[in-house]
Structure 1
Amino acid sequence: MDFQSIKDWFTLENVVDLIDQYRSFGPLPGVLLPMLEAFLPFLPLFLFVMANANAFGLGLGFLYSWLGAAIGALLVFLLVRRYGDTRFFRFLLRRKKVQSLTLWLEKRGFGPLFLLLCFPFTPSALVNIVAGISKISIYQYMIAVFAGKAVMIFTLSFIGHDIVSLIKQPIRTGIVLVVILVLWYIGKKIEEKLKEKGLSEG
């Protein structure tokens, strides 16, 4: 089976069928698929999230997708932070675009990370790697990942669960926007508290 055939296999119906086949494992398939995407970014995260919303319902589908995506991103970050002095990452650090993005994240902290991770089609694998080789605090990163991924996963779950209602009922669309603002505000407040305690320095 070639790469194109594998890519063509990933449809909403096929992924939902795959989750249903492994229902006996409980939430495990719903958590593992988004987690796997953090390590294999060519996999379609938006399909996994929508499939979870269809298979488990909006609430549990969101929860499983959010946990999987956030834990996967955190694991990538920790691996890069641990092995960031290897030849491959030293090569990345020498690239001007990576250096400028790294400095940008270090200076601005939570804000840009949160916004980048809110959007479904942001290359989150690159963001995780750059954050890992930067000097950004693990606390800032964790806040941004869990808040940003929550917004992105909630939006995709909402759309995947009932796309018709989203179009016909604009109030629901407004709820999504309110959630984004609330999570951003909470994330900024937590970051300020961490700075007061000196945790955001290390």
Structure 2
Amino acid sequence: MDLHGLLDSITLENIMEIFNKYKAMGPVLAIGLPMLESFLPLLPLVLFIVANVNSFGLFLGFILSWIGACAGSILVFLIVRKFGQKRVFNFLRKYKSIQKMLSWFEHRGFGPIFLLLCFPFTPSAAVNVVAGLSKISIVNFVLAVLMGKLVMIFIVSYTGQDLQSLVTKPEKLIIALAVLAVMWIVGKIVEKRMHPKKPHPADEK
């Protein structure tokens, strides 16, 4: 089976069938699949979250998805941070777009990573890699991942596969925005208490 065929076979029905077949391993799979997506970004994270919610209920499915997605992102970040100077990653620094993101992450810290990870279709693998190459502190990155993934997974868990309901049903959009705002405020408060914000060169002019 080629890659395209493999991806086509990953449907909500097939994932639910795997959960039913291996009930004893349910929580391990529920955490493992979102974690695996951090390393293989072509995998459908949204489907994994919806399958977890359908299998374990809204609260537990949300928690298991959040643990897996956060653990995967943090592992990717730590691997890139450790081996970021090696040739396999070093060529990325040559691209201007990567250089801009590196500068943005390093000087803005929590904010941009949090916002990028709040949205379901952001290429979070790219965010994890660039953050690992940057000089952002591990604590700031972990905080942004925990908060950003919480918002994103809550939105997907709350709406299911029907993300369009955020547009068609204003009450869902209001709740999603409220969660985003609360997590943003909490994250910024924690960040300020841990690390005073470094001025960006552009701000000093």
Amino acid at match of 2:116: L
Amino acid at match of 2:13: E
Kept in 1, the 8 Å contact 2:49–2:62? The answer is yes
Where in structure 2 are there 5+ consecutive unaligned residues?
Answer: 199-205
- How many residue pairs get matched? 197
Separation in structure 1 between the aligned mates of residue 57 and residue 15 of structure 2, nearest angstrom: 15
Query: How many angstroms does 1:150 deviate by?
Result: 0.3
Match of 1:119 in 2: 119
Instruction: List aligned pairs for 1:1-202, cutoff 5 A.
Output: 1-160=1-160, 170-196=170-196
Shift in CA distance, 4/104, structure 1 to aligned 2, threshold 3 Å = same
Separation in structure 2 between the aligned mates of residue 157 and residue 56 of structure 1, nearest angstrom: 11
Amino acid at match of 2:59: G
Separation in structure 2 between the aligned mates of residue 168 and residue 144 of structure 1, nearest angstrom: 29
Q: Secondary structure at the match of 1:27?
A: helix
Cα deviation code 1:27-55 (max 9, x no counterpart): 11100000000011110001100111111
Q: Secondary structure at the match of 1:102?
A: helix
Separation in structure 2 between the aligned mates of residue 56 and residue 146 of structure 1, nearest angstrom: 21
Separation in structure 1 between the aligned mates of residue 114 and residue 144 of structure 2, nearest angstrom: 5
* TM-score, scaled relative to structure 2: 0.90
Separation in structure 2 between the aligned mates of residue 131 and residue 163 of structure 1, nearest angstrom: 27
Kept in 1, the 8 Å contact 2:35–2:72? The answer is yes
Cα deviation code 1:72-104 (max 9, x no counterpart): 000000000011111021111122211111011
RMSD: 2.1
Q: Secondary structure at the match of 1:122?
A: coil
Amino acid at match of 2:155: T
Query: How many angstroms does 1:161 deviate by?
Result: 8.0
Q: Secondary structure at the match of 1:146?
A: helix
* TM-score, scaled relative to structure 1: 0.91
Separation in structure 2 between the aligned mates of residue 177 and residue 43 of structure 1, nearest angstrom: 26
Query: How many angstroms does 1:131 deviate by?
Result: 0.2
